[in-house]
Structure 1
């Protein structure tokens, strides 16, 4: 039996980037706790349908490319037109394209800014006022430990994750009195479909594990508890928080860690 405090029965959740990785795991977990889920994807229709089938029932699958700000705006309008007010927004979709800082181009910055920052503001601007009007809402964004432990090849990605946290906190301060909470969950080194090739290298896995106090890298299922909790009534008095789910990595490297293991 699911605790009443953690029940999401009757809530409608939009999970962006839900076709794989962390988004997929969170979508499945919210559904297990009773939420109706809208599965967003970008160019991964088969994977998104598989997530919907795994959840079962009448699950909506919607596509949008968040690197295109006009497409994001149209998507936000379509969500409301098709589904009405959304109770829970999981802002998870993002891109991470590694590039040496000396090679960064305006196009590189613009794509990351659109997908990793502007999309959150666009969706929040359309969905959060409706939450406020109903007196209840939850926004949880996927952050990254790179916001506080950046690397040169992720300068743009890390900077925008830090900006995302600032934006979440700024808006959270304004809407808390209306029963809407906004928080960030910041993963550490997580193996997903997108990072599977890196983690297939035993030496890489060993180097990463050596840096993390918990002694291992993470998996998407390691994150879902934080997301479910923040979406529930149990977390109604938590807003503007950044919760690292990283095996302790933000505390500092594990004793005896190998130098410069990246994740």
Structure 2
């Protein structure tokens, strides 16, 4: 297979939630593969620091701070990127939040926040970029789901529900937009060491459980998501649509 299938030179990618963790790692991977990358987060200070980090590494990165849960702000930001930086060829919907509590005690406001960011945010960004992609007849949308779109675990029921919604929204987008030249797929990480999982990663009891439960026997490292993201963002996946690619050390297939 030609390496040119994975070449992202000349492509513009927007990665939401990319000031840290998985989003920053994915942005770095795409930029190293030749793409221009627009970083996004709500916190301008953290976003600026992330941009400086990647620029120091010689990568071509911009930044655009906006809240994906705000529909109007998202529409305006996407329009600015298209007009001022360039056409968005790749959109990675990575912005997400987590809150852990039993279902019976889960605060209603936290439930609404998870829905607003994890589900509505994915819809807002996808809808905004798709308007331009559909007109051009090409585009890649990658929604970051989770192993929790397939499995459930106590204390994270609402998060599990949002990631199941993201997985099915991915299918719906592909069903509607594939005929117009777009490829929409989901990336489903398992348990990775990220700021979102810091409480779990620092818990020896949970880590012992995870190492036993996961066939690979360990936590994932965020850079191990790079290859899957590059595949879904590149021409190598031009006939892949509505698929959820699990990168989880095998946890979703083992009892």
2:62 is equivalent to residue 65 of structure 1: no
Partner of 1:41, secondary structure, is: coil
The residue aligned with 2:11 is 11
Question: Which of 216, 239, 242 is matched with 2:241 structurally?
Answer: 239
Tell which deviates more after alignment, 125-134 or 236-245: 125-134
Question: Which of 105, 108, 118 is matched with 1:103 structurally?
Answer: 105
C-alpha deviation, 1:57, in angstroms: 5.3
- Alignment check: 8 A CA contact 1:28 1:51 kept: no
Distance 1:146 1:54 in 2: 35
- Alignment check: 8 A CA contact 1:187 1:245 kept: yes
CA RMSD of aligned residues (A): 1.9
2:130 is equivalent to residue 134 of structure 1: no
Structure 2 vs 1, CA of residues 251 and 236 (structure 1 numbering), >3 Å: closer, same or farther?
same
Stretches of structure 2 lacking an aligned partner (at least 5 in a row): none
Partner of 2:101, secondary structure, is: coil
The residue aligned with 1:248 is 250
Question: Which of 75, 78, 94 is matched with 1:76 structurally?
Answer: 78
Tell which deviates more after alignment, 148-157 or 138-147: 148-157
Partner of 1:174, secondary structure, is: helix
The residue aligned with 1:35 is 35
Partner of 2:76, secondary structure, is: helix
C-alpha deviation, 1:46, in angstroms: 4.5
C-alpha deviation, 1:130, in angstroms: 1.4
C-alpha deviation, 1:70, in angstroms: 4.0
Question: Which of 198, 207, 210 is matched with 2:209 structurally?
Answer: 207
C-alpha deviation, 1:53, in angstroms: 2.0
Map 1:73-222 to 2 at 5 A: 73-222=75-224
Stretches of structure 1 lacking an aligned partner (at least 5 in a row): 254-263
C-alpha deviation, 1:219, in angstroms: 1.1
C-alpha deviations, 1:24-77, integer Å up to 9, x for none? Answer: 111111011111000112222354233442453552111123344443343333
Distance 1:70 1:111 in 2: 17
The residue aligned with 1:260 is none
TM-score where L is the length of structure 1:
0.89
Distance 2:57 2:17 in 1: 16
Distance 2:74 2:101 in 1: 25
